[in-house]
Amino acid sequence: DQQVKQNSPSLSVQEGRISILNCDYTNSMFDYFLWYKKYPAEGPTFLISISSIKDKNEDGRFTVFLNKSAKHLSLHIVPSQPGDSAVYFCAASEEGSQGNLIFGKGTKLSVKP
């Protein structure tokens, strides 16, 4: 039973345009959400996070939106650059847990020049 779902395995975007990566979750106890970026043969790199008391968090070109009623979050990258091409993982942790993260299966983003 997947608690964190990334339904799009891949996404292709033109350089300079917006990339929107989506993530859905089923566990209403999740209260902390993160996005990671991963290149092949490397560990995931933390990008941005959001707690459940917010609905938006912005860091440079990256913005995460959280819709608690829909149990949905998204990552917007504007403008997209070829170096953004990687696999993006959505993750969540549950209130009261030790902080261990539950990950989605990832979305491979390709930004074309």
Partner 1 sequence: SQTIHQWPATLVQPVGSPLSLECTVEGTSNPNLYWYRQAAGRGLQLLFYSVGIGQISSEVPQNLSASRPQDRQFILSSKKLLLSDSGFYLCAWQSGPNSPLHFGNGTRLTVT
* Pairwise CA distance, residues 30 & 52, whole Å: 8
Place of tokens 């459940």: 52
Distance in angstroms (rounded) separating the CA atoms of residues 97 and 95: 6
Q: With respect to partner 1, which residue has the nearer C-beta, 69 or 98? A: 98
**Please, which of residues 7-46 interact with partner 1 by CB under 8 A?**
31-32, 34, 36, 41-46
Q: Does 107 bind partner 1 (CB under 8 A)?
A: no
The 48-67 site mask, x for binding partner 1 (CB under 8 A), equals -x-x----------------
- How far is CA 95 from its chain centroid? 19
Looking up tokens 């959280």, which residue turns up? 66
Q: Contact residues for partner 1 (CB under 8 A)?
A: 4, 6, 31-32, 34, 36, 41-46, 49, 51, 89, 91, 93, 97-106
